[in-house]
């Protein structure tokens, strides 16, 4: 997450476009996330960007209209005016009506009671409603306690947030997966997980089994967990293209989400295309190394935003969700403030050109069998 404070230079003249859509007349009954933009709305932003070279002003207007409708400026840390929540209640599926916020908090490396409580308190205060964890993060139990403590503070319930979990990377069998999922449910103190993700097997135990078969067996456990209602949607974490194609050819339930590394140095157009063609929601994690790029620093001065905000906005405008990581309240707030501006089409293109196919977390696939 961002810890870089850029010196702001001359700002370009901003488009001053008033919202074209009316705000809801009815006042909200309960506060909702300032950042509860969904993948559907982000896809609209992406579609706008695709045609923007010929209709620049209209594209910026539509993007700004969406942002103005979905977000209100935070004037007080404890008082946020929000749009009214949808009338529908109860469990829903990702492809139907499960609205997953496009921006969430990654809790990777957030450990210890103090930092966990601090991060969850700040995140809920600044409008986060999506939280990502994993069985191997070592913080599921602390997160469960933190949500139990802080959700009531902000007049929220379990149903107001979305939890993404990950099976233990050591899982190799159906029973392993079931045990890992049950452990996650217990530690998070919840009856269900919104999205549960599968790692490609990442363990020395891979030598004991054929990786392809292990993946299919574990994924069958996820399918059964979804059928039971303990998991609302299932997905994948850090799968390579060949691995994703193999699973799509052999699964019964198409994964609803794919979490992968995605940033200007690793602009994965092929992965974006396969996800869109299969209705898989792509979600990104990235690394602070890209924030030091001279072009991104220049963009931060141009827009009056921190380098991390520029990168996060670039990801969102590509129709991809994002999970910045931080335990610092000021950084958590800064990462959320990316919906009050849009990157110009030419700047999106310039950032696209930074691609180096540089994958900081590429997994070893020495045991991968070609299929």
Of the candidates 313, 304, 309, the one whose C-alpha atom is nearest the C-alpha of residue 9 is 304
The dihedral region occupied by 314, where left means phi > 0, alpha psi between -120 and 50, and beta the remainder, is alpha
Confidence of residue 202 (pLDDT cuts 50, 70, 90): low
Supply the pLDDT for residue 38. Answer: 57
Supply the pLDDT for residue 203. Answer: 53
Q: Is the pLDDT at 77 greater than 70, yes or no? A: no
Give the whole-angstrom CA distance, residue 350 versus residue 287.
19
Report phi then psi at 199, rounded to 5: -80, 150
Give the whole-angstrom CA distance, residue 328 versus residue 265.
25
CB 4 within 8 A of CB 331: no
Confidence of residue 59 (pLDDT cuts 50, 70, 90): very low
Give the Cβ contact number of residue 219 at 10 Å.
22
Give the whole-angstrom CA distance, residue 159 versus residue 91.
9
Confidence of residue 289 (pLDDT cuts 50, 70, 90): confident
Confidence of residue 359 (pLDDT cuts 50, 70, 90): confident
Q: Is the pLDDT at 66 greater than 60, yes or no? A: no
Q: Is the pLDDT at 72 greater than 50, yes or no? A: no
In terms of pLDDT, which residue wins out, 8 or 222? 222
Region 130-151 average pLDDT: 97
Supply the pLDDT for residue 165. Answer: 98
When the pLDDT of each residue in the chain is averaged and rounded to a whole number, the result is 78
Whole-prediction pTM: 0.74
CB 92 within 8 A of CB 122: no
The vertex-345 CA angle with 341 and 346, nearest 5°, equals: 120
Give the whole-angstrom CA distance, residue 225 versus residue 156.
26
Token pair, residue 270, equals: 């092929």
In terms of pLDDT, which residue wins out, 39 or 186? 186
């Amino acid at each position: 997450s961002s810890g870089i404070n850029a010196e702001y230079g001359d700002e370009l003249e901003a488009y001053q476009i008033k919202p074209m859509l009316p705000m809801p007349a009815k006042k909200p009954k309960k506060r909702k996330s300032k950042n509860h933009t969904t993948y559907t709305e982000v896809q609209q932003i992406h579609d706008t960007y695709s045609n923007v070279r010929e209709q620049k002003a209209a594209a910026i207007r539509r993007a700004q209209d969406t942002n103005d409708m979905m977000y209100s400026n935070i004037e007080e840390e404890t008082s946020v005016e929000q749009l009214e929540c949808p009338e529908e209640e109860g469990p829903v599926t990702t492809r139907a009506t499960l609205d997953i916020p496009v921006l969430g908090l990654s809790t990777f490396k957030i450990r210890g009671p103090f930092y966990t409580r601090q991060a969850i308190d700040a995140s809920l205060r600044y409008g986060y409603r999506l939280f990502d964890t994993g069985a191997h993060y070592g913080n599921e139990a602390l997160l469960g306690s933190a949500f139990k403590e802080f959700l009531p503070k902000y007049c929220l319930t379990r149903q107001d947030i979305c939890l993404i979990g990950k099976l233990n990377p050591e899982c190799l069998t159906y029973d392993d997966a079931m045990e890992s999922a049950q452990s996650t449910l217990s530690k998070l103190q919840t009856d269900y997980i919104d999205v549960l993700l599968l790692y490609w097997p990442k363990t020395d135990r891979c030598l004991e089994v054929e990786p392809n078969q292990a993946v299919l067996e574990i994924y069958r456990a996820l399918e059964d967990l979804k059928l039971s209602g303990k998991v609302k949607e299932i997905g994948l974490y850090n799968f390579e293209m060949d691995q994703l194609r193999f699973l799509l050819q052999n699964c019964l339930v198409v994964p609803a989400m794919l979490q992968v590394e995605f940033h200007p140095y690793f602009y994965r157009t092929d992965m974006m295309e396969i996800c869109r063609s299969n209705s898989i929601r792509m979600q990104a994690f990235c690394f602070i190394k890209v924030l030091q790029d001279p072009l991104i620093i220049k963009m931060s001065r141009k827009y009056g935003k921190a380098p991390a905000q520029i990168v996060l906005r670039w990801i969102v405008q590509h129709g991809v969700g994002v999970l910045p990581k931080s335990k610092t309240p000021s950084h958590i707030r800064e990462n959320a403030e990316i919906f009050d501006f849009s990157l110009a089409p030419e700047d999106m293109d310039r950032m696209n050109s930074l691609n180096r196919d540089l994958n900081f977390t590429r997994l070893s696939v020495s045991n991968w069998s070609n299929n």
